[in-house]
Structure 1
């Protein structure tokens, strides 16, 4: 999964940009605010979801443009692209080989993983962020998970509307929504379970000398089969009606992570240990994708080198080089990447302009 070209139009601080790429390391250095992370954010939109910043679409459009933006990339002989129109800036459109396609179909073509400074708070903030993180991991291996999540959420929103309305709509309608929630919810929960089991198996084989080894678990109601979920929804209707929303289900699940050596929850570990746990999860997941899809995912690593001591930084680069694939990295100082192989492409970013070093 190596991109050969990235093209941006009216995206963030890039009115126009065409960047040639190759397998291996793509390194971007420059001052804070120069536009390094914008490159990675654009790439992250070539996967389903809201991108690595989870920003509103209107905020991605260049301020000096017409209100629309486009991100396109060449993947072998396949061209993929996504963006907005100026007459519908809140609606994202996607094209594959010039043909319109659902955005969730991007997962069929690309697996993209990322680590950003904002993810340092993953273990200490709310469960929603951890669910989103886990769902992205699942989508990279099971593209249908994106559609199942979207359908589950659509049914849940409609059910919540009916609950808040006090069942003024036909109760048969509510029953039909319960059937949909059970169908798509069980698919979502089972896919999450498969991912956690596969990751734990892969993490057992990882090198704990470089980064801490995590153990992953899903904290939820353990109601995973379609029949179990449907029964639970029926039994909880009175409580859901009183609350005006669906109180139980896969949308309430949480990903919990433990430091294996310390047998300590991640949220109680030091900041450095939490970062190491995240590294371990992402690297193990990349290996899992390579095993299953016979192709390594694209990795986006935003400002990760500055948070590692020189020994771990060199070990990380060695590990990434050994495994291959395409890795896009950002950092404020070129010296942070001195241990990266000479074959890497290095770019200097300054006020929305990029030139090869």
Structure 2
């Protein structure tokens, strides 16, 4: 088990919601708009980043009435290992600062990035169905979120790289001092090499996990990391210096990890994922999520959030999904509009009926 004693205050449509006595399988059932995905989103904010919807903080806070100012929100959960509470994680905002997210671990102030050291989070939502046809940036964000499972400091490295590249862009635009530009590029190369190394390692480890999974009933994807430039620190720094005129003219840096790409093809046919059917794309995305869940659960508590997944699978794939989730170490949270698709796990799951921003234990 990973999370227990979960509380939400003034988050989305939840004024005050508490979930206790959690299990390996946790089901949130209710009509569309009841607040099921809001609960998953709250859990996703117990890790670094902007959560599964990538929403602005001000949009997460409950407003008592249209036009009212957002109320400060708070999310908290106990982290449980082997039946013992090992930590209390919390994230919240304060009155008058709706755009500033604060974090506490065991009551002490902490950084959002540090949450990855305590808990590994993975999720799959309907909005991700278009991942393979989306932009390269969307796939990089997908990879970076998964990378936290093997490198908790990865988000800090990515943020530092982005900050260095923004500073480099300003210096190029305004003709900044060459020595300062050298220093900024050294920082970008340092962080960029670390980011590239973690991404490459993640893809290799995911490929190993995918090769161990049966090819059916979920289509097995083959993953390839395509770097956007040199991946070693020395090579990247030299390339950044060499490409200053080009990047100045382009108004952006055209070499480096910010140009990385995740290439996905169906292993059996070598057909690019973007050209596969929507059903095949969904099956490959589930396979990646399951493989990542295995990685994420090694070494620390992990949580897998699955939004409206079971209802869109045929009985064979649904049964196989539940079997793999049951064998995994990650705590699983799933949503659905009805209980019927979860009949196979109903007897072993903690179930809540969600309605109007409230929950009732079934």
Of the three residues 296, 303, 306, the one matched with 1:298 is 303
Q: Is the 8 A contact 1:6 1:21 kept in 2?
A: no
How far apart are 1:141 and its partner, in Å? 1.7
1:199-278 alignment, distance < 5 Å:
199-278=206-285
1:1-357 alignment, distance < 5 Å:
2-64=2-64, 66-75=70-79, 76-165=85-174, 167=175, 169-290=176-297, 292-293=298-299, 295=300, 297-357=302-362
Q: Is the 8 A contact 1:301 1:330 kept in 2?
A: yes
Root mean square deviation of aligned Cα? 1.3
Q: Is the 8 A contact 2:308 2:336 kept in 1?
A: yes
Q: TM-score, normalised by structure 2?
A: 0.95
Q: Is the 8 A contact 1:217 1:256 kept in 2?
A: yes
How far apart are 1:284 and its partner, in Å? 0.8
Q: Is the 8 A contact 1:23 1:325 kept in 2?
A: no
SS in 2 for 1:263: coil
Could you report, residue by residue, the CA deviation over 1:208-243 in whole angstroms, capped at 9, with x for unpaired residues? 122111111122335100001000000000011112
Cα distance in structure 2, aligned partners of 1:16 and 1:337 = 27
SS in 2 for 1:121: helix
How far apart are 1:203 and its partner, in Å? 0.8
Larger deviation, residues 150-159 vs 66-75: 66-75
SS in 1 for 2:332: strand
SS in 1 for 2:15: strand
Cα distance in structure 1, aligned partners of 2:254 and 2:229 = 14
Residue segments in structure 1 that go unaligned for 5+ positions in a row: none
Cα distance in structure 2, aligned partners of 1:216 and 1:344 = 33
Cα distance in structure 2, aligned partners of 1:58 and 1:158 = 27
Q: Is the 8 A contact 2:229 2:236 kept in 1?
A: no
Q: TM-score, normalised by structure 1?
A: 0.96
Cα distance in structure 2, aligned partners of 1:309 and 1:21 = 30
How far apart are 1:296 and its partner, in Å? 5.3
Residue segments in structure 2 that go unaligned for 5+ positions in a row: 80-84
Cα distance in structure 2, aligned partners of 1:101 and 1:74 = 16
SS in 2 for 1:141: coil
SS in 2 for 1:339: helix
